[in-house]
A and B are shown apart, each in its own frame.
Chain A
């Protein structure tokens, strides 16, 4: 069955430190891959997406993610975390068809220490 796994439930980093959030997927073929952020009381916001081509994708707010086919991973990174980055982060995947259906990982809550 198709699935998206985020192995880290919580991650705490100090402000200014680097960040990496892990995401692995299990699909029959390489899906479309996404990272979303959900702040308290707000809707999901798309950070970045990968469809094909360059395996390192840049997103908003200084985030980037690297697609690694051999590891079935799509990890999110940021070189220097800001306190405002504290939120819930979701990795998601979608088949390359017209169904548009997204499957979400369980989410990683990011806490930022001052």
Chain B
């Protein structure tokens, strides 16, 4: 079946640095991808919708200048956490819909900002 990958699976960085997370759809094209954030023992919160060929759409309360999203191709979306701080430490998950009723999730990227 369809697979969505994320890289890296985990990352530790110093406060103030930027971190890039990649999300790839491996055997289908995705004009839309989603980025979620999950805090420990909490649900997935949609951060933004990544659109190939156009700007990302951010959910209310999500800083677009902090979380830069680039949908470079039909199989790749990247999330860059700029000037990361400890409060940005979280589990970031991407997803890509193959059809409206079929959405595939990546395995997630755990970010720890020291």
Q: Which A positions have Cβ atoms within 8 angstroms of B?
A: 32, 36, 42-44, 46, 49, 51, 90, 94, 96-107, 109
Q: List 28 A-B contacts (CB under 8 A).
A: A32-B101, A36-B105, A43-B4, A43-B93, A43-B106, A43-B107, A43-B108, A44-B44, A44-B105, A46-B103, A90-B43, A94-B100, A96-B100, A98-B100, A100-B32, A100-B97, A100-B103, A101-B34, A102-B34, A102-B46, A102-B95, A103-B46, A104-B43, A104-B45, A106-B43, A107-B42, A107-B43, A109-B41
Q: Is the CB of B32 within 8 A of A104?
A: no
Q: Among the interface residues B45, B49, B105, B107, which one has the most CB atoms of the partner chain A within 10 A?
A: B105
Q: Which B positions have Cβ atoms within 8 angstroms of A?
A: 4, 32, 34, 41-46, 49, 93, 95, 97, 100-101, 103, 105-108
